[in-house]
Amino acid sequence: MKTETRTSLGVGASAPRPDGALKVAGAFAYASDLWLDGMLWGATLRSPHPSAWIRSIDVGPALALPGVFAVLTHEDVPGAKFYGLEHADQPVLAVDQVRYQGEPVAIVAADHPETARRAAAAVVVEYEVRAAVTDARRAALDPACPLVHPGGNVVRHQPVRAGSAGSGAEVVVTGEYEVGMQDQAFLGPEAGLAVPADDGGVDLYVATQWLHVDRDQIAPCLALPEDKVRLTLAGVGGAFGAREDLSMQIHASMLALRTGRPVKIVYGREESFFGHVHRHPAWMRYEHGATADGRLVYVKAEIVLDGGAYCSSSPAVVGNAASLGVGPYEVENVWIDAYAAYTNNPPCGAMRGFGAVQACYAYESQMDRLAAACGLSPVEIRVRNAVSQGSRLATGQVIDSPAPLAAMLGELAAMPLPGPPAYAPSGSRRQGGSGARARGMIGTREEPDPRRLPGGVGRTTRGEGVRRGVGYGVGIKNICFSEGFDDYSTARVRVELLGGEPHALVHTAAAEVGQGLVAVQAQIARTELGVDRVTVAPADTSVGSAGSSSASRQSYVTGGAVKAACEAVRRRLEALAAADPGLSLGELLDRYGPVEETREYRHRPTVPLDPVTGQGDSHTQLALCVHRAVVDVDVELGLVKVVELAAVQDVGRILNPLALEGQIHGGSAQGLGLALLEEIQMRDGRVLNPSFTDYLIPTILDMPPMRLSILENPDPNAPYGLRGAGEPPTLSSTPAVAAAVRAATGLALPRVPIRPEDIALAHTG
Amino acid sequence: MDARITLRVDGRVRPLALDTRTTLLDALRDHLSVTSPKKGCDHGQCGACTVLLDGRRVVSCLILAVTCDGAEVTTAQGLAQEGEPHPVQRAFLEKDAFQCGFCTPGQVCSAVGMLEEVKAGHPSEVTDDLTGPVTLDDEEIRERLSGNLCRCGAYVNIVAALREEAES
Amino acid sequence: MIPFEYLRAGDPAEAVAAVAGRPGAAFLGGGTNLVDHMKLGVAGPDLLVDVSRLPLDRVEETAGGLRIGAAVRNSDLAAHPLVRERYPVLARALLSGASGQLRNVATTAGNLLQRTRCPYFQDVTTPCNKRVPGSGCSAAGGYTRYHAILGASEHCVATHPSDMAVAMVALDAVVAVLGPGGARTLPLAELYRLPGDAPQRDTVLEHGDLIIAVELPHLPFARRSAYRKVRDRASFSFALVSVAAALDLDGGLVRDVRLALGGVAHKPWRATRAEAELRGGPATEDAFRRAAEAELAAARPLPGNAFKVAMTRNAVVATLRALAEEGR
């Protein structure tokens, strides 16, 4: 057989997205677009209270409405009443009590969505409101705090102990930092369609990140064997972690099984804010000790994450915050305590960056303080302490693949800065204090271009009081699931003749959520099989688990599985070719028929962190990204315009340059949002801003041009040497933007998002 | 209360009987199975439902269908001509100006409407000289498309896609 | 949304009669605010009288001024050559509001009559005196970042959300109203009211009153005017505070000035005290500051919005300073 590798759209090419033409034409079917004749619409009644006993539920008034087919409560859950990713502590429908505002209490199916909503509202629930626990620090650390769950309020406490903390430092900087509650805010709300099957099971078409873990949670609650719960991925309108937990899956299935009709549930935007977990808000206290020349001697940190009402993935988030809590820096003595606490706030769980984001904001803020205390530049302090291959993390884990952080910082710092500020710093009358002349500031005299000024567009000022700042941020993120998780993916690859031409069919359960995974799977098949024509089958549970589209892991793990399955197919084809020399691939397939192989792929095993010392090789791969942000700040009005973001990231091996750049752009945009805009406003356990008018995500005008440099230092343990890429930019962009605003204003700004008033109030003159 | 209206959607005449409460977005999606406009927020805050209504870009979620009797509605699906994608759609493909794609039909319609507004000489908030001609530079593209949220953050590539359009 | 009848009015008189004769009726312009409120349950008219297609969609030159039809779309008004040339503050204010898609739909009168963005007003599960008179104010003691610092009452601390109206109030705009009792005009500044003990009423309009036009008087120095909007996001977001200003300089002195503030009160706030302070005085930064402070002496900030006082002052100073520098 002649192995043809002439294919031009293999690994390394900017292969177009197979679903791209449909998406730009509006013809791609998202979960919310699904439709079956005769289907019913589901709706969910949610708790208005963050904490209450349920004294009674009367579904009668709802059932009495014409067009209503079913009204179900916890009593109607056929099997297990609770589910969860790590602990099954979350009720399918509230049982006797509610622990957060928005907790599902009852579900309805009706023949029109409006009828379903009205019926849900007609369910009469008698609550006895209790005091809500809303302070995570108190929940975690104060033994007198009321319990949200009987087992205690601490979801996980993970210490990390290395060396002996607290001695020998010549310079000490401390700081307290906070990160607000960020929302994933995908544009396509939660949606799915459940179809009752003749065998008593259910077929569920749903937008999710991990079909099999959904099924593993759904089936016990429906009291069905796994093979009677079949999931197919529907079009996913963004995920970013918010589709890792279940939302409407069990509810729609229950309603479908009860009514014998297909049931569609689509959340509205407001409901979406209540219908998925958020990024953990964090309170963090750090102390860094260093030598006078800026070499870290010790780091102490206390990190408290608000886990909200249910466990979700909080334990793993704590594991990341603890194990990556000092960042990519060499330091011998480490004393970290990371906690997640139960509160009556909304449940928090997975969001892009997953525990590493919060810590990164704090440790990078600390590195800037240390730089200032030691009289070093932000770049120099980071270079002096940078990890490299062979470095030992605080957990004792040795970085065993390239980690060229110092070189990345050097490259970043050498990138040209954007054009001069679009303003003319006015004369001495508007000079700021010495703090405002901090390192990183640039001052030039130029004619103003009023359009390029903060406030979006310049109509807010003509330049007086506008100052430029430059800031740096560095992030380190674990790729794939850590701490001993059996993290694998499955791929089935079949090569056959279609229309007389060799064709490869790749089938996995991996969720395309926008990251470009469908394209990458096809690219791998082309490269490994030398076949141009590749189809990626729809993801469903008729093939083995692919694991989650999270932790930046799918190119690695599902990519690895597709590669392994292709290699197995290729070996069989080679064996056939050896027996029948001289035949082309097409002739071989014609003679011997289709060749199909299925393979599981696992990354290297990891181990859980020691619960007392936090030691252990908990991660399989680590990825670095560094950002430089340039901002213009109108200090009088508190407005920030990010002028440019520059990033250097080492991805090991580029599989698809265009899609990769998009991932870095997108991660950077979400980090920018956390730095300047995004926070779910909570008051006494209630969400105040569940809309896109009040929860602001960056618009295209907020997102500046980006300069990228992408490095390829392969990881010998990973397929093609690749390193997961989706999350690291989300880490480092936030501290870079915050540092730039600090450099422009001279303010401490210990909390993100930074609001206009945080700046303007300090410049009230 | 029911009403009878006629819309011309993507070139096809579509008579409709619907409740007066029905928005244009729901009429398209639920009554006519035209699902290219997306329901991202249903409150005019995200732009995913953008269509061209008598040639002007609008958010279809805040418009009652009954007010549109006789109107011409063009969605992303209708922008393609004889199976060929609209130049803006092609530019989005070439520049990878989307990821999950949920906002994309709205982005595309918004961009097409925006280009017409520029052609008509309409200023934007970033236009420095209100009385002068409009040059569609990157900042103009950004301001004019700021009514279309993209959470995947494909903004850099959206600007690149429309820069090509602006130059052509 | 509760069921409603729909009527497309043939002329303004028919529209007025239709609404005036039915307590539950409402006018429908572009609908970008009303339809939203109907979805939220904030509004529940049983008859919608569509006035968006009435022949009120023209911008006409009057004696030195402009007459803007009530149904003129925000985008068309912003793009109108005479608005851009003579009243840049209005064009800027319009262009800073909402998004291109919304401006293509929203009408002039609808923009004037849009209702507050107070989160409690929009959340029908919470008490709100503006939505349900007498039910209480959830914002008092609640989340008040976007709320009023001037002219509020114990019953309501909401702010008016319009950008356009701030510019129009600065420009001494007059509204032409057709009501069941006939036609009348009134200054736009007098259309709006402070909440007092009746915050359910945003304006002095009576049921059935239809705004048919907005008249902008001759104001040559408005050619040097500006609108500045301070907000959390660069675009497509409501103002924290905003300033509309026009400045007429005589050498280094202020011959005349127009100044209005947005985001600070239940209505677009004409800064008459500041204007009085400025007229005839020097066009210096210190004078601008003193004028702003004079206006803001009456400010009564809430725990969550004390920053707005300094932010408003700074925005006033920055706006006037830029206009003064432009004029030199």
Average pLDDT over residues A58-68: 98
pLDDT at A424: 43
List the single best residue of C311, C312, C326 to mutate versus A (max A Cβ within 10 A). Answer: C311
Nearest CA among A88, A128, A132, A158 for reference residue A343: A132
> Would the pLDDT of B121 be above 90?
yes
DSSP per-residue codes, A172-236: EEEEEEEE-------SS--EEEEEE-TTS-EEEEE--SBHHHHHHHHHHHHT--GGGEEEEEPB-
Nearest CA in chain B to C34: B62
What CATH class has A136-183+278-371?
alpha beta
Chain A, chain B: beta-carbon pairs less than 8 Å apart: 188
| Chain A: partners with 3+ C-beta pairs within 8 Å | B, C
Calculate how close chain C gets to B44, using CA atoms only, in Å.
7
What CATH class has B2-77?
alpha beta
Helix (H) or strand (E) holding C246: strand C241-250
**Strands, DSSP E only, in A499-638?**
501-507, 533-536, 595-602, 621-634
**Is residue A724 within 8 Å of residue A654, measured between CB atoms?**
no
Helix (H) or strand (E) holding C253: strand C253-262
Q: How many domains does chain C divide into?
A: 2
Task: Say what angle helices A728-745 and A657-676 make with each other, to 10 degrees.
Answer: 40
The tokens for A642 are 């990010």
Q: What is the CATH number of domain A34-130+196-238+243-270?
A: 3.90.1170.50
Q: A707 phi and psi, to 5 degrees? A: -105, 125
Average predicted confidence (pLDDT) for chain C: 97
- Inform me whether the C-beta atom of residue C328 falls under 8 Å from chain A C-beta atoms: no
Helix (H) or strand (E) holding A731: helix A728-745
- Does C79 contact B21 at a Cβ distance shorter than 8 Å? no
pLDDT at A4: 44
Name the residue ranges covered by the structural domains of chain B. 2-77, 87-167
Q: Which residues contact B77 (CB under 8 A, 6 or more apart)?
A: A25, A26, A27, B10, B34, B36, B105
Average pLDDT over residues A388-396: 98
Average pLDDT over residues A244-255: 98
Q: Look-up: residue for tokens 């092609």?
A: B90
pLDDT at A448: 47
Nearest CA among A428, A390, A364 for reference residue A626: A364
Nearest CA in chain B to C32: B62
Chain C residues 18-37 within an 8 A CB cutoff of chain A:
none
**Partners of residue C269 on adjacent β-strands:** C261
Burial-class residue A316 by CB neighbours within 10 Å (0-12, 13-18, 19+): buried
The model's confidence at residue B83, banded by pLDDT at 50, 70 and 90, is confident
Q: Is-cis flag, bond preceding A753, omega within 30? A: yes
Chain B residues 15-34 within an 8 A CB cutoff of chain C:
19-21, 23
- Strand, helix or coil at A758? helix
- Does A689 contact C233 at a Cβ distance shorter than 8 Å? no
Number of Cβ within 10 Å of residue A481's Cβ equals 21
Average pLDDT over residues A400-406: 98
The tokens for C163 are 């950008």
Q: Which residues of C touch A677 (CB under 8 A)?
A: 232-233
C289 occurs within a structural domain: yes
What is d(CA C169, CA C156) in angstroms, rounded to the nearest whole number? 22
Give the one of C117, C234, C310 whose C-beta lies nearest to A701's C-beta: C234
Q: Which residues of C touch B145 (CB under 8 A)?
A: 100
Spell out the per-residue pLDDT of chain C, length 328, in tens: 899 999 999 999 999 999 999 999 999 999 999 999 999 999 999 999 999 999 999 999 998 899 999 999 999 999 999 999 999 999 999 999 999 999 999 999 999 999 999 999 999 999 999 999 999 999 988 999 999 999 999 999 999 999 999 999 999 999 999 999 999 999 999 999 999 999 999 999 999 999 999 999 999 999 999 999 999 999 999 999 999 999 999 999 999 999 999 999 999 999 999 999 999 999 999 999 999 999 999 999 999 999 999 999 999 999 999 999 987 7
List the single best residue of C118, C225, C236, C313 to mutate versus A (max A Cβ within 10 A). Answer: C236
Q: A128 phi and psi, to 5 degrees? A: -115, 105
**Is residue C224 within 8 Å of residue C327, measured between CB atoms?**
yes
Q: Taking the mean position of all CA atoms in its chain, how far away is CA A212?
A: 19
The tokens for A606 are 């990891």
- Does C48 contact B131 at a Cβ distance shorter than 8 Å? no
pLDDT at A350: 98
Query: Is the pTM for the entire model greater than 0.90?
Result: yes
- pLDDT tens-digit map of A502-546: 999 999 999 999 999 999 999 999 999 999 999 999 999 999 999
- Strand, helix or coil at A117? helix
> Would the pLDDT of A232 be above 80?
yes
- Inform me whether the C-beta atom of residue C237 falls under 8 Å from chain A C-beta atoms: yes
DSSP conformational letter for B106 = H
Which CATH code of 2.60.40.10, 3.30.300.170, 3.30.365.10, 1.10.460.10 fits the domain covering A402-478+619-763?
3.30.365.10
Q: What is the CATH number of domain B87-167?
A: 1.10.150.120
pLDDT at A430: 31
Nearest CA among A318, A310, A341 for reference residue A102: A310
Q: How many CA atoms lie within 13 A of A166 on its CB side?
A: 4
- Does B62 contact C100 at a Cβ distance shorter than 8 Å? no
Q: Look-up: residue for tokens 């639920």?
A: B30
Q: Look-up: residue for tokens 């303080």?
A: A369
What is d(CA A382, CA A412) in angstroms, rounded to the nearest whole number? 12
Q: How many residues does chain C have?
A: 328
- Does A692 contact B154 at a Cβ distance shorter than 8 Å? no
Nearest CA among A291, A305, A2 for reference residue A177: A305
Write down the number of H helices and E strands in chain C. Answer: 13, 12
Considering Cα of C161, then C167, then C171, then C177, what sign does the dihedral take?
negative
C90 occurs within a structural domain: no
Q: How many residues does chain A have?
A: 765
- pLDDT tens-digit map of A66-79: 999 999 999 999 99
What is d(CA B151, CA A189) in angstroms, rounded to the nearest whole number? 12
What is d(CA A315, CA A321) in angstroms, rounded to the nearest whole number? 10
- Does A16 contact B93 at a Cβ distance shorter than 8 Å? yes
pLDDT at B166: 84
- Inform me whether the C-beta atom of residue B99 falls under 8 Å from chain C C-beta atoms: no
Fold of A20-28+488-602: Aldehyde Oxidoreductase; domain 4 (3.30.365)
Calculate how close chain A gets to B6, using CA atoms only, in Å.
23
Calculate how close chain C gets to B160, using CA atoms only, in Å.
20
- Does A764 contact C240 at a Cβ distance shorter than 8 Å? no
Predicted-assembly ipTM surpassing the 0.90 threshold: yes
What is d(CA A22, CA A32) in angstroms, rounded to the nearest whole number? 16
CATH label of the domain that carries residue C45 = 3.30.43.10
Q: Which of A156-170, A723-737, C57-71 has the lowest mean pLDDT?
A: A156-170
Burial-class residue A434 by CB neighbours within 10 Å (0-12, 13-18, 19+): exposed
What is d(CA B36, CA B105) in angstroms, rounded to the nearest whole number? 6
Give the one of C75, C84, C96 whose C-beta lies nearest to B131's C-beta: C84
Helix (H) or strand (E) holding B166: helix B155-167
Query: What range defines the domain where residue C308 resides?
Result: 223-327
Calculate how close chain C gets to A461, using CA atoms only, in Å.
6
SS (H, E, C) A275-344: HCCECCCEEEEEEEEECCCCCEEEEEEEEEEEEECCCCCHHHHHHHHHHCCCCCECCCEEEEEEEEEECC
Helix (H) or strand (E) holding C89: helix C88-95
Name the residue ranges covered by the structural domains of chain A. 20-28+488-602, 34-130+196-238+243-270, 136-183+278-371, 402-478+619-763
Nearest CA among A544, A503, A524, A583 for reference residue A210: A544
Calculate how close chain B gets to A264, using CA atoms only, in Å.
13
- Inform me whether the C-beta atom of residue A714 falls under 8 Å from chain B C-beta atoms: no
> Would the pLDDT of A426 be above 60?
no
Give the one of C231, C235, C318 whose C-beta lies nearest to A461's C-beta: C318
C184 occurs within a structural domain: no
Q: What value, to the nearest 5°, has the Cα angle with vertex A560 and ends A555 and A563?
A: 115
What is d(CA A459, CA C96) in angstroms, rounded to the nearest whole number? 9
**Is residue C266 within 8 Å of residue C156, measured between CB atoms?**
yes
**Partners of residue A178 on adjacent β-strands:** A283, A751
Write down the number of H helices and E strands in chain A. Answer: 17, 28
Q: Say yes or no: do domains A34-130+196-238+243-270 and A136-183+278-371 share a fold.
A: no
The model's confidence at residue B165, banded by pLDDT at 50, 70 and 90, is confident
**Is residue B2 within 8 Å of residue A652, measured between CB atoms?**
no
